[in-house]
Amino acid sequence: MFNIVAEIVRGLFTTLKHATHEPVTIQYPEIKRPVRYRFKGRHELKRYDNGLEKCIGCALCAAACPADAIFVEASENTDEERYSPGERYSSTYEINMLRCIFCGYCEDACPTEAIVLEDKYELSFVDRESAIYTKEMLIVDVPINGISTPQQVEPGAFDRSIPDMEDPK
Amino acid sequence: MTPGQLALRTLLVGFIITFTVITGFAYTTLLERKLLALLQVRVGPNRAGYIPIPRRGKSELKLLGGVMQPAADAVKLFFKEDPTPAMVEKVTYNLAPALTVIPAILILAVIPWAGPMKIFVSEFTPYFAIAPGLNIAVLFILAVTSISVYGVVLAGWASNSKYAILGGIRASAQMISYELALGLTVLIPIMLADSMDLGDIVMAQQGPLGPIHWFVFRQPLAALVFYIAVLAELQRAPFDLLEAEQELSAGFNVEYAGMRFGMFFMAEYMKMISFSAITAVFFFGGYDGPFVQQVPALGFLYMIGKIFISLCLMIWLRASTPRYRYDQLMALGWKVLFPISVFNFILVAVFIILHQEGLLNFLPAFLLGG
């Protein structure tokens, strides 16, 4: 009996000790904790340093996607209107965020490392239409010193269907 | 005073006290959430209704974060869908929330909030309460709190759900077991004060030496047993096993939603307040405190302060103690608290007789009281 009371009193003082600690809560909308290195958040379509898009519209990501969330429509590049260093580029690139399971298979499948699951995780929407993220929403900004797509390039500068991984030209 | 004036005054005072305590109930929920958060190294509700104070160079300071949280909770509960499950016993199902919340409010009728005073033309003698001078006040409290067992049992039974019925059965067994210890310890202040009137019990605890006359210092064991029994009667932690979330999801109120659930919630917190008030009256001198004879209005402050301390203790216990198992609860009730209270009761009775026979005159007078 005495033992029970002593233990309860000890428990009371343990909680009291904790009352002096600083709260561990992070005030979320104001303070955002950085995500982990391998966090899989919203996709981003990357660019090369010169501004060309890495995506060549091969649709391997769409093929790899187990949830069938990705839709890619490719078009031909021309030297007057060049989007990517390859033969083709994605004229339409849509990811349905209601279907996406953030497995990262698209990232693995991509031959040019164009699609990367990055750190953005605030993906709420109020209707089904806004669940579809288009290419404009997914693609990153043109880097400094880069030129926005479509670029006009000299004929014959890009001759590979799948470009080298390093910065082309 | 004519009976009409008396009725009007009772109505008015009852209205004021009831609404004050209902507001107090709302803020008890906030107190509980904030205090639990403090003890669990969290922040607690801090979004609803803060006072923004701009600071130069820094983000604005948010003062009193969460003061409107009870209002937000109430609005949410009122606008929630309130479905009635198909197979319930309709009449009892609807009756049960009222049957738990009404006794919880009724207890307030007899609690003395301050000493004798005069407000406008109305004289509050012998003390300030909704029904001052009720000579069976203690009996009234015990009777009324017993009724709230029915609310719990009927809610469990009418819900036609196994979780609810298990919770209801546990609740009834627990409340009936602990009512014994509660009743027997309540007898001790009654014997010491020689009255069932709560005002007389408070007055018996007043004396020239101040708080040393309070029954908690004269009968510490009875006070401890009483408080434990109160916790069990309130189904507060560590005796909250009828609401054991892990086993019963929510216990007897599992089939209730919206404001009908809110009424159970309200009953629990109202009973916390009223039982804190009763504990204060029985063992902590009620509205007694320094200078209360000169300024009777101080009684309100002392009473509220004592209730606040008791509420904080309940919340602190909830944050600290694990839940009792059902057999442990029964064992504690029947094998520990009940014998202690019987023994204590007999002891006090014998000592009172000895005192009346003049055989204990060598003891200091305050130990024996009036």
Distance from CA of A26 to the nearest CA of B (A): 9
Q: What is the mean pLDDT of residues B331-352?
A: 87
Task: Kindly determine whether residue B321 and residue A1, on different chains, have CB atoms separated by under 8 Å.
Answer: no
Task: Kindly determine whether residue A16 and residue B39, on different chains, have CB atoms separated by under 8 Å.
Answer: yes
Tell the residue number behind the tokens 């769409």, with chain if given: A62
Q: What is the mean pLDDT of residues B236-252?
A: 73
Structure tokens at A42: 């919203």
* Contact indicator for B307, B271 with CB cutoff of 8 Å: no
Angle at CA of residue B290, ends B285 and B292, nearest 5°:
75
Q: What is the mean pLDDT of residues B167-183?
A: 83
C-alpha to C-alpha distance for B213 and B370, rounded to whole angstroms: 10
Taking contacts as CB-CB distances below 8 angstroms, the residues of chain B near A16 are 39, 316
Taking contacts as CB-CB distances below 8 angstroms, the residues of chain A near B321 are 8, 11-12
Question: pLDDT class for B246, splitting at 50, 70, 90?
Answer: low
CA atoms within 13 A on the CB side of B86: 0
**Candidates B33, B36, B39, partner chain A, best to mutate (most A CBs within 10 A):** B39
Nearest by Cα to B175 from B17, B9, B330, B38:
B330
Nearest-by-Cβ selection for A12 from B41, B320, B336: B320
pLDDT at B245: 66
pLDDT at B128: 80
Q: What is the mean pLDDT of residues B216-244?
A: 82
Instruction: Answer whether residue B370 shows pLDDT above 60.
Output: no
pLDDT values of chain A reduced to their tens digit, one per residue, 169 residues: 678 778 888 888 888 888 888 888 888 888 888 889 889 999 999 988 888 888 888 899 999 999 999 999 999 988 888 888 888 889 999 999 999 999 999 999 988 888 999 888 888 889 998 999 999 999 998 888 888 878 888 887 777 767 766 655 4
pLDDT at B365: 60
pLDDT tens-place string over residues B278-321: 999 888 888 887 877 777 788 888 889 999 999 999 899 888 88
Nearest-by-Cβ selection for B43 from A1, A16, A23: A23
Task: Kindly determine whether residue B38 and residue A24, on different chains, have CB atoms separated by under 8 Å.
Answer: no
Q: Is A1 on the interface with B (CB under 8 A)?
A: yes
* Contact indicator for B274, B111 with CB cutoff of 8 Å: yes
Average model confidence (pLDDT) for chain B? Answer: 83
Please give the model's pTM, rounded to 2 decimal places. 0.81
Q: What is the value of ipTM here, to two decimals?
A: 0.70
Q: What is the mean pLDDT of residues B142-160?
A: 85
Nearest-by-Cβ selection for A25 from B43, B316, B321: B43
Q: Is B50 on the interface with A (CB under 8 A)?
A: no
Task: Kindly determine whether residue B320 and residue A14, on different chains, have CB atoms separated by under 8 Å.
Answer: yes
Q: Is A29 on the interface with B (CB under 8 A)?
A: no
C-alpha torsion sign, points A71, A76, A79, A81 = negative
* Contact indicator for A89, A83 with CB cutoff of 8 Å: yes
Question: pLDDT class for B197, splitting at 50, 70, 90?
Answer: confident
Task: Kindly determine whether residue B320 and residue A1, on different chains, have CB atoms separated by under 8 Å.
Answer: no
User: Helix-strand-coil percent breakdown of chain A, rounded to 5?
Assistant: 20, 15, 60
Tell the residue number behind the tokens 């003049």, with chain if given: B358
C-alpha to C-alpha distance for B181 and B340, rounded to whole angstroms: 8
Q: How far separated are the first and last CA of chain A, in Å rounded?
A: 83
Secondary structure letter of residue B51 according to DSSP: E
Distance from CA of A128 to the nearest CA of B (A): 25
**Candidates A15, A21, A27, partner chain B, best to mutate (most B CBs within 10 A):** A15
Least confident of A88-97, B23-32, B81-90: B81-90
The fraction of chain B above a pLDDT of 90, given in percent, is 2
Q: For residue B211, with 0-12 CB atoms within 10 Å meaning exposed, 13-18 middle and 19 or more buried, which class applies?
A: middle
Question: pLDDT class for B364, splitting at 50, 70, 90?
Answer: low
Task: Kindly determine whether residue A12 and residue B316, on different chains, have CB atoms separated by under 8 Å.
Answer: yes
pLDDT at A169: 47
Nearest-by-Cβ selection for B321 from A11, A16, A27: A11
Q: Is B321 on the interface with A (CB under 8 A)?
A: yes
pLDDT tens-place string over residues A85-124: 888 889 999 999 999 999 999 999 988 888 999 888 888 8
Secondary structure letter of residue B208 according to DSSP: T
> 3-state DSSP call for residue B183?
helix
Distance from CA of A33 to the nearest CA of B (A): 17
pLDDT at B368: 54
Instruction: Answer whether residue B341 shows pLDDT above 80.
Output: yes
Question: pLDDT class for B366, splitting at 50, 70, 90?
Answer: low
Instruction: Answer whether residue B82 shows pLDDT above 60.
Output: yes
